[in-house]
Amino acid sequence: MSPKVSEAYKAEKKAAILEAALHCFTEKGFQATTVDDIVRHLGMSKGVIYSYFSSKEEMYIQMADDRMNAMVSSLSEQFKSIPNASDQIHHMFERFRRQSLKDLRKWLAFHLEFMLYAARQPELIERWKQYADKALVFIQEIIEAGIRSGEFRSDLDKETVACLFWSVRDGLALQYMLTGEETDYERTIQDMEQMVFRFIKA
């Protein structure tokens, strides 16, 4: 009879596999990476990896979801001391400014390659939508609170504003994907922040 494996042990193994997968994805690219690459990097048998994840696609989805959940959890905790919706949106823009272009480019390349790959596979599109919806809902809740408090226009559509918010973020990231300087990037974020607030403020 094999020994019982604790939940903590399983969580540790999964985290180790995802860390190895992330390393390979960012080094070689999502499509070029194979499960064998992850096996070699981790020094773990392929059978063990498949006992936790059925494919590299599942690894990516889990990784992206964990990152999104961590962001939402961290911001929700910080927002306990930032009660105003306007200040919460300002805080989000400040987070964008603090992220270096080097880090932004690494993560954007990682996500973009998967999105192009997933675009031809309906089952992955649905999984991606579940992940992306969390980001939209998070901003929608801030906008809704700002409308209730009178900080934001009463006629705003929260879904539209959430899409606008992330489109500004993602669009800027694409604009600076290959070239551009940190100072220009930070100044453009600041200008975009002012534009967004001119649209949403009561």
Report the number of distinct structural domains present in the chain.
2
Residues 31 and 91 in one domain: no
CATH no. for residue 40? 1.10.10.60
What is the reported pLDDT for 136? 96
Residues 99 and 179 in one domain: yes
Residue 143 CA to residue 126 CA, distance in Å, equals 25
CB 79 within 8 A of CB 88: yes
Of 130, 150, 142, nearest to 75 (Cα)? 142
Residues 125 and 88 in one domain: yes
Residues 124 and 185 in one domain: yes
- Residue 5 — very low, low, confident or very high, per pLDDT cuts 50/70/90? low
What is the reported pLDDT for 4? 63
Q: In this predicted model, what pLDDT tens digit does every residue of 40-89 receive, in sequence order?
A: 999 888 999 999 999 999 999 999 899 899 999 999 999 999 999 999 99
Residues 15 and 97 in one domain: no
Residues 107 and 165 in one domain: yes
What is the reported pLDDT for 111? 86
What is the reported pLDDT for 109? 85
What is the reported pLDDT for 35? 93
Domain holding 66, by residue range, is 55-200
CB 165 within 8 A of CB 98: no
Residues 42 and 118 in one domain: no
Residues 106 and 142 in one domain: yes
Mean pLDDT rounded to a whole number for the chain:
92
Q: In this predicted model, what pLDDT tens digit does every residue of 86-124 receive, in sequence order?
A: 999 999 999 999 999 998 888 888 888 999 999 988 888
**How many residues does this entry show for the chain?**
202
Q: How far is CA 48 from CA 44, 54, 118, in A?
A: 7, 11, 26
Q: In this predicted model, what pLDDT tens digit does every residue of 140-185 receive, in sequence order?
A: 999 999 999 999 999 999 999 999 999 999 999 999 999 999 999 9
